A and B are shown apart, each in its own frame.
Chain A
Amino acid sequence: QKEVEQNSGPLSVPEGAIASLNCTYSDRGSQSFFWYRQYSGKSPELIMFIYSNGDKEDGRFTAQLNKASQYVSLLIRDSQPSDSATYLCAVPPRDNYGQNFVFGPGTRLSVLP
Chain B
Amino acid sequence: SQTIHQWPATLVQPVGSPLSLECTVEGTSNPNLYWYRQAAGRGLQLLFYSVGIGQISSEVPQNLSASRPQDRQFILSSKKLLLSDSGFYLCAWSVETSDTGELFFGEGSRLTVL
Residues of A near any B CB (own CB < 8 A)? 32, 34, 41-46, 49, 51, 88, 90, 92-93, 96-101, 103-106
Contact = CB atoms under 8 A, between A and B. Distances in A.
B56 to A, nearest CB: 10
Interface residues of B, number: 26
A32 B102 CA distance: 10
Contacts of A51: 100
Contact of A49 (B90, B94, B102, B107): B102
Given A49-B100, A104-B43, 16 more contacts: A41-B110, A42-B108, A43-B106, A43-B108, A46-B102, A46-B104, A51-B100, A88-B44, A92-B102, A96-B32, A96-B101, A97-B96, A98-B96, A100-B46, A100-B49, A101-B94
DSSP class of A's interface residues: helix, strand, loop or mixed?
Answer: loop
Contacts, number: 59
Contacts of A49: 100, 102
Interface in B36-82: 42-44, 46, 49-51, 57, 59
Contacts of A46: 102-104
The 3 closest A-B pairs by CB, nearest first: A98-B51, A96-B101, A43-B105
B105 A44 contact: yes
Contact of A103 (B44, B50, B57, B98): B44
Given A88-B44, A97-B51, A32 B101 contact: yes
B2 to A, nearest CB: 13
B105 A96 contact: no
A70 B108 CA distance: 31
B37 to A, nearest CB: 12
17 contacts: A32-B101, A44-B90, A45-B105, A46-B104, A49-B100, A51-B100, A96-B94, A96-B101, A97-B51, A97-B96, A98-B32, A98-B96, A100-B46, A100-B49, A101-B34, A101-B94, A105-B42
A34 B90 CA distance: 17
Given A42-B108, A98-B49, A93 B101 contact: yes
Nearest to B90: A43
A112 B69 CA distance: 47
